[in-house]
Amino acid sequence: MAAACGTRTTRPTDTDPTQVSVKQTEQAPPPPAEYVAIVTSKTSKVIPAAFAGRIDDLRIHPSQRVKKDEILAHQDTSEMKSKLKEAKMRERSARMAAGRSGAEAGQAQQELRNARKLLAIGYGTRMNILEAKTKISAAGAGAGADEANGDAAAATAEDIQNKIDHADIKAPFDGVVSQVRVKDGDSVPAGGPVARIFDPSDLIIRFAIPMTDKTRVTDGMKIQLKVPDQEAPIWAVVTQVFEEVEPPINYRIVEADIDDSKLRPGELGLSQIGRVTIAAAQTAAKPTTTKGKNP
Question: Considering the domain boundaries, does residue 10 fall inside one?
Answer: no
49 shares a domain with 171: yes
pLDDT of amino acid 287: 40
236 shares a domain with 215: yes
124 shares a domain with 59: no
184 shares a domain with 48: yes
Domain containing 48: what range?
44-77+167-198
Question: Considering the domain boundaries, does residue 240 fall inside one?
Answer: yes
Distance CA 278, CA 39 (A): 16
Whether residue 147 contacts residue 30, with contact meaning beta carbons closer than 8 Å, is answered with no
Closest CA to 37 of 240, 276, 278: 276
CA 155, 156, 161, 163 torsion-angle sign: positive
140 shares a domain with 82: yes
246 shares a domain with 112: no
160 shares a domain with 38: no
CB atoms within 10 A of CB 93: 14
160 shares a domain with 86: yes
pLDDT of amino acid 280: 62
48 shares a domain with 190: yes
Question: Considering the domain boundaries, does residue 24 fall inside one?
Answer: no
Whether residue 139 contacts residue 102, with contact meaning beta carbons closer than 8 Å, is answered with yes
The tally of domains found in the chain comes to 3
Mean pLDDT by 10-residue block, N- to C-terminus, for the chain (295 residues)?
A: 49 54 62 88 92 93 93 95 93 86 81 80 79 81 83 92 94 91 93 93 92 88 89 91 76 92 84 86 44 42
203 shares a domain with 176: no
Question: Considering the domain boundaries, does residue 153 fall inside one?
Answer: yes
CATH number (domain holding residue 52): 2.40.50.100
The domain boundary residue, chosen from 123, 140, 165: 165
pLDDT of amino acid 78: 93
Question: Considering the domain boundaries, does residue 192 fall inside one?
Answer: yes
pLDDT of amino acid 45: 93
- What dihedral do alpha carbons 174, 175, 181, 185 form, nearest 10°? 40
